[in-house]
Amino acid sequence: MQAKEFKVKWGMLVDLDKCTGCGACTVACRAENNLPPEADAANKLRTNDWMNIYELSNEKPFPDHEVAYLPRPCMQCGHPSCSTVCPVVATLKDEEGGIVSQVYPRCIGCRYCMAACPYHARYFNWFDPIWPEGMEKVLTPYASARPRGVVEKCTFCHHRFMAAKEQARMNGEDPTELAEDAYIPACAEICPTGAIKFGNLKNPEHEVSKLAASKYAFRLLEKLGTDPQVYYYSKREWVRKLGDNYLKNAKGGEHV
C-alpha cells in the first residue's frame, strides 16, 4: 500500500547524543495535553505517557558500559498500523502535515490499535482521569480531557499546528509554508539540551529535513515498513542498531 503523500510532512528528530533523559519533555507533554496526574506511575502497564523515555544500554559490563536515553512519542507513521485496524475509523492519517489523528468521541476502546502499534505509543485510559481538587483549574484549552475507556496518543501537539496555520492566515501568509519556529510541539520547545528538533521534512530549509538525511539518522524498527515521521540521531553505532532491534545472538545476526 502506498503511503498517503502530503505537501507538508511534519517530522521530529531526537538527537540521542544530546538527550540526558531528564524527563522535562514527559512533564511538559502532560501539562500541555491535559493528561491527568497518576499517583502510581512507575509501573508502566496501565499508565498513560504520550512521551515515554527509555534507557538504552550497550549491554557491556563495567567499565565498557554505555547508556543512552530515548524519548518516544507517537511515530506518526506513513503507513500507520493503528489506523488500518481501527473498526470505527477513530484514527486516521488524512490531514495535511501527515499527523495521525485520534478522534476520541469515536473510539470504542477495543484496543486493536494498541495491539497493532509496534512502538507502544498508544495508551488506553484504564481509569477515570482525576485531577486533585482545584488542579482542574490548570487544564489547558488545547486538548479535550479524555474519558476512561478511550485510547489516546501523542498528536505532535496538533493544536499548535492549528494555531500556527490560523496565525499564518491572519498574517496573510501561506499556512502550508510555515516557518521552522512557527509550530513546535511542547516537548521540543521545552527540551533543555535542544535534543528534540521539529519541522517540515519536505522543506529543505528546515533543520529536521537536513538531519534526517544524515547517515547518523535512523528510525525505530525501520524494516517493518511503517515509515515513521520521527527520526533519531546518534553517532553511536550500538544506539542505531538498537533502534532497529538488532539482536547479536539472533539466528544469522538478523532481525527477529
Partner 1 sequence: MGLDRRSFISLVAGGVAGSLFTPVIWKTLDDVSIWTQNWPWIPRLQYGEELTFPALCKLGSDAYGVKVKTVGGRPVTAEGNPDHPLSLGGICPLGAASVHLLYSPSRVKNPKLKDGSSFKDITWAEAEELLAGKIREAGSNVAMISGDETGSVTDVLSGLVGKAGSDKSFFMPGESAPAAAALAMLGGDGQVGYDIENANYVLLLGADALGSWGNVARNGKAFSASREKGVKFVYVGPAQNGTSAVADSWVPCNTGTEPVLALGIAAVIAGTSRDRSSWPGFASFAKFVQTAYPLDKVAEITGVKAAVITGLAQELVRAGRPLVLTAAEAGQGLGAFELAAGMSLNMLLQRVNAVGGVRILPWAPKVVEAAADRKTMFANDLVAYLSSVADGGAEAPALLMVYGANPAYALPNLTKAQAAMDKAGFVVSFSSFMDETAAMADLIMPDSYAFERLDDAYSPYGSGQPNYTVVAPVIKPVFDTRPAGDVLLVVAAKAELDLGFESFEDVVKAKAEALGADFDEMVEGAAWVSEEFPAQDLALWTTPLQELAVAAKDGKSLALAPVQRLKIGSAKIAIPPFNTNAIRFDEMLGNDMYVLLNAATAKNLGLKKDDAVKIASSGGECKARVRIFEGVMNDTVVAPLGLGHTAWDAFSRDKGDNVYKLLAADTEAESGLSRFATVRVTVSKA
User: Footprint of partner 1 on residues 79-108 (CB under 8 A)?
Assistant: 87-88, 104-108
Binding mask 158-197 for partner 1 (x = CB under 8 A): ----------------------------x--xxxxxxx--
Cis previous bond, 175, omega within 30: no
What is the closest distance, in whole angstroms, from the C-beta atom of residue 256 to partner 1 in the complex?
23
Which helix (H) or strand (E) segment is 116 a member of?
Answer: helix 112-116
Closer to partner 1 by Cβ: residue 125 or 226? 125
- By CB under 8 A, name the one of 14, 48, 80, 230 that touches partner 1: 48
Contact 14, 232 (CB under 8 A): yes
User: Which residue, 89 or 177, is less far from partner 1 as judged by CB?
Assistant: 89
Closest by CA position to 28, among listed 209, 129, 160, 134? 160
| Three-class DSSP category at 123 | strand
248 counts as binding partner 1 under rule CB under 8 A: no
Residue (1 or 42) nearer to partner 1, CB: 42
Residue type, position 166, single letter = E
CA distance 24 to 44: 18
Q: Which is nearer to partner 1, 32 or 98 (CB)?
A: 32
**Residues 109/88, Cβ–Cβ less than 8 Å:** no
CB 100 within 8 A of CB 77: yes
65 is an interface residue for partner 1 by CB under 8 A: yes
Q: In the set 14, 49, 183, 212, which binds partner 1 (CB under 8 A)?
A: 49
Quick one: 17 or 227, whose CB is closer to partner 1?
A: 17
